[in-house]
């Protein structure tokens, strides 16, 4: 039996997909729907609730009172602002430089560079609390660092590094731990960015006589700007949310904003003050994101 061919020009029913989802132009929106729903449910709604709570008093009237009140009830408010900013100020540039160096190194495709990249990315898979505890095990009185120094005969008795009497030591310990833990995310973004840079540009530059340094400065870095922007935004926002590493290494002797919010929410059961802190973190993150978008603006022709 010969197959029956549909005569040309007759009306065929639209595919099932089209009938359910509408025309193809609507499809992207349907695909976006789940993530939009997720964002609304777990970010937008709680966020708006937090903002409302932060600007209302117990009776539901709008007020700014919660901010001075929080300052009175929490002597760590200003120190938390100070330490959070200082940590971000030191950690983010440090991570950017380290990640860039490692990314450039990986991009030379030396033997074993992929393995090297994976090893560098290991901390990505760790929770920040786990990372904090690992470094606590290193810096503690009877931790690995003291044991090592003692074995090498450099010290007679353990040095107490994690002590509230030396806030800058606590600061340094957090910087080291956070640097180890969170550089990988910047690294991954930059490696991806580097691999997208077409070899043609570099070859042209080489033909025109640019040396290694000039190629980096005038070709690679400008082309990497979109990736740098993305990495900086991600890392800076995370830097202002720094939490578990500080908690593990410094307790509340190095107060930071997210730790304060957590403390007020879980231990003091004070949703209002926790929300005030959340709003402050949100405001800072927004300001920095806008700053990055403005100052690291990616021109249209740089986009691919």
Partner 1 sequence: MKGYKRIGLLIALLGLTAALGVPGDSLQAQPPRIVWVSTQLVPIQEAEFVRNEILKPFTEETGIEVEFIGAQYGELFTRLEGEARAGQGSTDLVGGLQGDFVGIAQFMDDVSDVLAGLGDRTFAAGDLQLGTLGGIQAFIPWMRATYLMMANKQALEYLPEGADLNALTYEQLVAWGQALQEATGEPKLGIPAGPRSLLHRFVHGYAYPSFTGSTVKRFLSDEAVTMWEFLRDELWPQVHPAVATADAMDTLLLEGTVWVAWDHSARLKQAPVERPEDFVAFPAPAGPYGRGFINILAGLGIPKTAPNRDAAAQLIEYLTRPETQVKILQGVGFFPSVEEAAGATPPGALKVLAEGVSAQASASDALPALIPGGLGPRGGDFGAIYRDTFIRIVINGEDIPTVLRQQGELLQELFQETGAACPLPDPADEQPCSVEGL
Residues that bind partner 1 (CB under 8 A): 72-73, 75-76, 136, 140-142, 157, 160, 162-165, 247-253, 263, 267-270
Which CB atom, from 74 or from 187, has the smaller least distance to partner 1?
74
**Residue 148 Ramachandran class (φ > 0 left, ψ -120 to 50 alpha, else beta):** alpha
Least distance in Å: CB of 156 to partner 1?
A: 9
Rounded CA-CA distance 255/238 in Å is 16
Q: How far is the CB of 164 from partner 1 (least distance, A)?
A: 5
Please enumerate in sequence order all residues whose Cβ is within 8 A of that of 9, keeping only pairs 6 or more positions apart, or say none: none
Of residues 106 and 162, the one with the C-beta less far from partner 1: 162
Q: How many CB atoms lie within 10 A of CB 112?
A: 9
Considering the complex, state which of residue 151 and residue 269 has its C-beta at the smaller distance from partner 1.
269
Instruction: Report helix, strand and coil shares of the chain as percent, to nearest 5.
Output: 75, 0, 25
230-233 long-range contacts, Cβ below 8 Å, gap at least 24? 230/189, 231/96, 231/99, 231/185, 231/186, 231/189, 231/190, 232/92, 232/96, 232/292, 232/296, 233/288, 233/289, 233/292, 233/293
Between 134 and 282, name the residue whose CB sits nearer to partner 1: 134
Q: How far is the CB of 263 from partner 1 (least distance, A)?
A: 7
Q: Which is nearer to partner 1, 163 or 195 (CB)?
A: 163
> Which phi and psi angles does 62 have, rounded to 5°?
-75, 135
Per-residue DSSP letter, 7: P
Nearer to partner 1, 16 or 157 (CB): 157
Q: Of 93 and 251, which CB lies nearer to partner 1 in the complex structure? A: 251
- Minimum CB separation of residue 167 from partner 1 in Å reads 9
Of the chain, the end-to-end C-alpha distance in Å amounts to 53
DSSP for residue 256 = -
Residue 214: CB minimum distance to partner 1, A = 49
For the bound state, the minimum distance from the C-beta of residue 75 to partner 1, rounded and expressed in Å, comes to 6
CA distances from 179 to 127, 186, 259, 285 (A): 14, 11, 19, 20
Looking at the Cβ atoms of 6 and 157, the one nearer to partner 1 is 157
Work out how close the CB of 88 gets to partner 1 at its nearest, in angstroms, rounded to a whole number: 21
Backbone angles phi, psi at 56, to 5 degrees: -125, 155
CB of residue 141 to partner 1, shortest distance in Å = 5
């Amino acid at each position: 039996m010969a197959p029956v061919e549909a005569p040309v020009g007759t009306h065929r029913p639209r595919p099932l997909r089209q009938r359910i989802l509408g025309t193809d132009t609507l499809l992207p929106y349907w695909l976006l729907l789940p993530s939009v729903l997720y964002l609304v449910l777990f970010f937008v709604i709680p966020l708006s609730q937090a903002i409302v709570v932060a600007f209302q008093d117990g009776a539901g009237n709008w007020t700014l009172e919660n901010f001075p009140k929080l300052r009175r009830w929490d002597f760590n408010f200003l120190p938390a602002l100070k330490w959070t900013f200082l940590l971000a100020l030191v950690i983010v540039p440090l991570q950017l430089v380290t990640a860039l160096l490692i990314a450039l190194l990986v991009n030379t495709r030396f033997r074993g560079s992929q393995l090297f990249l994976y090893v560098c990315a290991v901390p990505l898979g760790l929770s920040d609390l786990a990372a904090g505890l690992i470094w606590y095990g290193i810096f503690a009185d009877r931790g690995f660092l003291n044991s090592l120094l003692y074995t090498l005969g450099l010290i007679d008795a353990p040095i107490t590094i994690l002590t509230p009497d030396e806030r800058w030591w606590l600061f340094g310990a957090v910087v080291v731990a956070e640097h180890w833990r969170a550089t990988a995310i910047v690294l991954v973004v930059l490696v991806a960015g580097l691999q997208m840079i077409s070899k043609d540009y570099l070859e042209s530059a080489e033909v025109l006589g640019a040396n290694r340094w000039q190629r980096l400065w005038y070709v690679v870095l400008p082309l990497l700007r979109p990736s740098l922007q993305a990495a900086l935004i991600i890392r800076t926002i995370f830097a202002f949310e720094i939490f578990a590493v500080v908690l593990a290494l410094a307790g509340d002797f190095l107060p930071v904003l997210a730790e304060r919010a957590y403390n007020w929410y879980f231990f003091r059961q004070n949703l209002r003050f926790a929300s005030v802190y959340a709003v402050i973190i949100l405001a800072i993150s927004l300001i920095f994101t806008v700053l990055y978008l403005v100052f690291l603006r990616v021109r249209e022709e740089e986009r691919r």
